[in-house]
Amino acid sequence: MKIRLLAVGTKMPAWVEEGVETYRKRLPKDFHLDIEEIPLGQRGKNADIVKARALEAQRIRDKLRGDEYIVALEVKGKPWTTEHLAQEAEAWRMTGRDIVLLVGGPDGLEPSLSAMAEKTWSLSPLTLPHPLVRIILAEQLYRAWTLLVGHPYHR
pLDDT, tens digit, for every residue of 126-153? 888 889 999 999 999 999 999 999 999 8
Residue 36: predicted pLDDT: 97
Residue 78's φ and ψ, nearest 5 degrees, are: -85, 130
- If we measure between CA atoms, which residue out of 32, 41, 42 comes closest to residue 5? 32
pTM over 0.85: yes
d(CA 144, CA 153): 10
Task: Identify the burial level of 111 via C-beta atoms within 10 angstroms of its C-beta, where 0-12 means exposed, 13-18 middle and 19 or more buried.
Answer: exposed
CA distances (Å), 148 to each of 83, 93, 118, in order? 9, 11, 22
Give the three-state DSSP class for 48: coil
Which DSSP state fits 66? S
- If we measure between CA atoms, which residue out of 36, 30, 28 comes closest to residue 10? 36
pLDDT, tens digit, for every residue of 53-98? 999 999 999 999 989 999 999 988 999 999 999 999 999 999 999 9
